Every structure is written in C-alpha cells, then in structure tokens.
C-alpha cells in the first residue's frame, strides 16, 4: 500500500493527504485557508481591567448601602472576570500550533471554556436566587442614590465591554459567551438603576431582593443557550447552523457519487468545523480537482473548513456500520 502526501504550511490549517489503496482511494480534500480564530486579546484585557475595578466599587458600596442587589451583582461580575480570563486563555490556546501529541492543537479549549463559563453562571445564579428568597423574609433599607449611581456606572462599563466582543459573537461560541456575560450585565445594571429610583419614590423594601431574582432569571435565560451549545459540541455534536441531512444530500448529488456513508461533522473549536465522509464512486478516483471543488463547496455552503473524504470504488465500508438514516 502506497501513500501520497501533499502537505501545506500548517499554522492552524489542515494538511492535504492522499491515500491510495488496492481497491479504493481516499484522502483529505485540498483546502488551504486562513480563517484562524481572530484575536480579541485587547478586548479581553480592557474588559478584565474595567470589570475588576467595577467589582471593587460595587462590593464596597453594596456593603456600605446594605444592598443585596449590588453585592450580588458584584459577585456575578467577579465570576465574569474569571470567565473572561478563562475565555481569553482558551482563545489564545486555540491559536497554538498542533503538535505530534495534539494533532488538532488546542482549539477544543474554547469549547471547554464556554462550557465551564455556562456552568459557573448557572450555579452562581442558583445561589443568588436562594439568597434573594431568604432576603424577602427580612427586607432591609437600601441607600437608593448609592445603588443608582453605582449601577449606572455598571451600565456604562458592561456596555463598553460587550461592544468589544460584538463582532465575534455570531461566529465564535467562546466569544459569544463573553459577549452574553457583558450584555446581560449591562441590562441587569439598568434594572438595578430602575429599582433604586422606584425605592426612592415608594420605599418598597422588597424591591431589592425582587431585582436580585430578576437578575438571576435574566442571566439563566441568557446562559442556558451557551451551556446547551457548548455541552453539545463537547460531545462532538453537529454545530448549530449545519444540517447533517443537507450536507449528505449535497454530497450525494455530486457528479459520479453513487452513495455517501459514514458522514460525521463535528467542531474542532468554537469557530472551526470538520467533516469526514465516504463517497462511493464506481467510476474511479475523480482526481484532486474534484476534491478541491468539494472542499470549496463545503466551505462556502456550510462553513466546513476541514473535510476528509474517503473515495470508494466498490462501496465497501471496512467493516464499519453505516448509519441507517443516512444509508
């Protein structure tokens, strides 16, 4: 059995391999690309510095004013700082070159960071909700103006930080996690401002724990999607936005393809997707131009940048079971 390898410069990109077997041909479709994860180092650094400063301000004035809403939001913002550091580390790790021991590199670190961030957020909000319920039983007076001013600063800081991550929030789950943290916090701080105004106007002592419960609800709603998607990707699930059946149908409709099986699509990281599939082509190996066209089509149609295609002449499957739903 002979092997032909056509390697490309690999700085976070896939190599192209061609393997020739006695009765079939296979290999990686030729796919040179330069779509590596964008660097948000500056955004992370600015966001972390701003939020560390705001946590200190919020904690001090929350304690002085005896505001559970401010103290709870300070704790949440502290978890956001940890989340930003984790996401930053994962983003940096994803740009590291693959090694002989880690052939895909560290791209999956971004998935794990998103999963840990989602888990921590849900746990923190559970603790906050419990504390708020207990506070309903013995509401305390709140320094309304202190709450209003500090929370207003929070709206500004969290809004600025969220804007730094807005451009990458649609294409990268790890960056989306950072964006959701900050955007959610901006909305929560706005709610705290409103609660402070209402407290000064009506003197409702129950308003502070009520706002805390609202904070928990907003963050849980915003975090659940992050947690669900990152958990799905951690188990090599098909990334959101890609329909496995659509990909199968497109591959099966290619010229010369009689059957498609062993189709797998998974995330290498939060912004990079891989595919492997067996294409049954009785007419023989179609050549490198065909593989290049397929790679380009998968990239443009489905956002899949790392395809590996096995070309088979006789439809044999090396003893591997074929998925019933996809043939």
Q: Are residues 20 and 121 located together in one domain of the fold?
A: no
**Residue 192 confidence (pLDDT) above 80:** no
Query: Among candidates 28, 54, 25, which has minimal Cα distance to 311?
Result: 25
Task: Give residue 141's pLDDT.
Answer: 62
Give per-residue pLDDT as tens, 3-30: 333 333 333 333 333 333 333 444 545 4
Which CATH number fits the domain that encloses residue 256?
A: 3.30.70.1350
Q: Are residues 106 and 158 located together in one domain of the fold?
A: yes
What's the maximum distance between 2 C-alpha atoms anywhere in the chain? 84
Per DSSP, 9 falls in state -
Task: Give residue 17's pLDDT.
Answer: 36
**Residue 240 confidence (pLDDT) above 70:** yes
Rounded Cα–Cα distance for residues 309 and 322 (Å):
15
Q: Are residues 70 and 147 located together in one domain of the fold?
A: yes
Q: How many domains does the chain have?
A: 2
Domain boundary, last residue among 181, 212, 234: 234
Rounded Cα–Cα distance for residues 238 and 326 (Å):
15
Rounded Cα–Cα distance for residues 119 and 224 (Å):
9
Task: Give residue 16's pLDDT.
Answer: 35
Q: Are residues 274 and 298 located together in one domain of the fold?
A: yes
Q: Are residues 87 and 170 located together in one domain of the fold?
A: yes
- Give Cα separations from 182 to 34, 84, 159, 217 (angstroms): 29, 10, 7, 15
Domain boundary, last residue among 206, 234, 262: 234
Which CATH number fits the domain that encloses residue 107?
A: 1.20.1510.10
Q: Which of 32-36, 92-96, 199-203, 300-304 has the highest mean pLDDT?
A: 300-304
- Full strand arrangement of the beta sheet holding 24-28: 3-6, 16-20, 24-28, 306-312, 272-280, 259-269
Q: Are residues 253 and 173 located together in one domain of the fold?
A: no
Q: Are residues 116 and 206 located together in one domain of the fold?
A: yes
Rounded Cα–Cα distance for residues 134 and 114 (Å):
31
Rounded Cα–Cα distance for residues 251 and 247 (Å):
6
Q: Are residues 288 and 193 located together in one domain of the fold?
A: no
Task: Give residue 266's pLDDT.
Answer: 95
| Residue 142 pLDDT level (bands cut at 50, 70, 90) | low
Per DSSP, 266 falls in state E
Strand partners, 19: 3, 26
Domain boundary, last residue among 198, 218, 234: 234
Task: Give residue 52's pLDDT.
Answer: 92
Mean pLDDT across the chain, nearest whole number?
77
Q: Are residues 147 and 249 located together in one domain of the fold?
A: no
The answer to whether residues 82 and 124 touch, using CB atoms and an 8 Å cutoff, is: no
Query: Among candidates 175, 58, 177, which has minimal Cα distance to 115?
Result: 177
Average pLDDT over residues 31-38: 44
Give per-residue pLDDT as tens, 148-187: 888 888 889 989 988 888 876 666 778 887 888 788 778 7
Query: Among candidates 105, 27, 34, 102, which has minimal Cα distance to 307?
Result: 27
Rounded Cα–Cα distance for residues 247 and 263 (Å):
9
What does the chain come to in residues? 327
Instruction: Round to the nearest angstrom and report the end-to-end CA distance of the chain.
Output: 28
Share of the chain above pLDDT 70, in %: 80
Average pLDDT over residues 290-303: 94
Rounded Cα–Cα distance for residues 292 and 49 (Å):
46
**Residue 1 confidence (pLDDT) above 50:** no
Q: Are residues 285 and 158 located together in one domain of the fold?
A: no
Task: Give residue 143's pLDDT.
Answer: 63
Q: Helix, strand, coil proportions of the chain in percent (round to 5)?
A: 60, 15, 30
Residues of the domain holding 299: 3-34+238-326
Share of the chain above pLDDT 90, in %: 20
What is the number of alpha carbons within 13 Å of residue 311 lying toward its C-beta? 26
The answer to whether residues 226 and 118 touch, using CB atoms and an 8 Å cutoff, is: yes
- Rounded to a whole number of angstroms, the CA Rg of the chain reads 25
Task: Give residue 174's pLDDT.
Answer: 80
Q: Are residues 26 and 47 located together in one domain of the fold?
A: no
Rounded Cα–Cα distance for residues 124 and 79 (Å):
8
The answer to whether residues 186 and 159 touch, using CB atoms and an 8 Å cutoff, is: yes
Task: Give residue 41's pLDDT.
Answer: 85
Q: Are residues 123 and 7 located together in one domain of the fold?
A: no
Give the three-state DSSP class for 269: strand
């Amino acid at each position: 059995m002979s092997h032909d390898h056509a390697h490309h410069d690999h700085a976070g990109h896939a190599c192209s391999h061609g393997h020739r077997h006695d009765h079939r041909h296979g290999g990686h479709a030729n796919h040179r690309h330069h779509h590596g994860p964008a660097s948000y180092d500056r955004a992370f650094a600015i966001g972390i510095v701003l939020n560390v400063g705001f946590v200190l301000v919020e904690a001090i004035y929350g304690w002085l004013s005896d505001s559970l809403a401010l103290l709870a939001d300070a704790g949440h913002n502290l978890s956001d700082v940890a989340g930003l550091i984790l996401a930053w580390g994962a983003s940096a790790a994803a740009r590291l070159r693959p090694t002989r021991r880690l052939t895909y590199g560290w791209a999956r670190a971004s998935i794990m960071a998103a999963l840990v961030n989602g888990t921590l957020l849900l746990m923190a909000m559970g603790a906050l909700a419990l504390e708020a319920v207990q506070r309903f039983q013995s509401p305390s007076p709140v320094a309304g103006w202190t709450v209003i001013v500090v929370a207003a600063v929070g709206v500004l800081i969290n809004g600025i930080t969220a804007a730094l991550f807005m451009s990458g929030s649609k294409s990268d789950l790890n960056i989306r996690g950072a964006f959701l943290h900050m955007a959610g916090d901006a909305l929560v701080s706005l709610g705290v401002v409103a609660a402070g105004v209402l407290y000064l106007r009506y003197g409702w002592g129950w308003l502070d724990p009520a706002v805390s419960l609202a904070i928990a609800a907003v963050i849980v709603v915003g975090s659940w999607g992050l947690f669900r998607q990152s958990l799905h990707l951690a188990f090599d699930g098909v990334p959101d936005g890609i329909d496995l059946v659509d990909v199968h149908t497109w591959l099966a409709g290619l010229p010369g393809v009689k059957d498609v099986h062993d189709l797998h699509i998974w995330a290498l990281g939060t912004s990079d997707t891989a595919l492997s599939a067996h294409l049954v082509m009785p007419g023989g190996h179609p050549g490198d131009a065909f593989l290049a066209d397929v790679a380009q089509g998968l990239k443009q149609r489905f956002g899949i940048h790392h395809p590996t295609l096995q070309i088979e002449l006789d439809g044999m499957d090396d003893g591997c079971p074929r998925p019933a739903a996809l043939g």
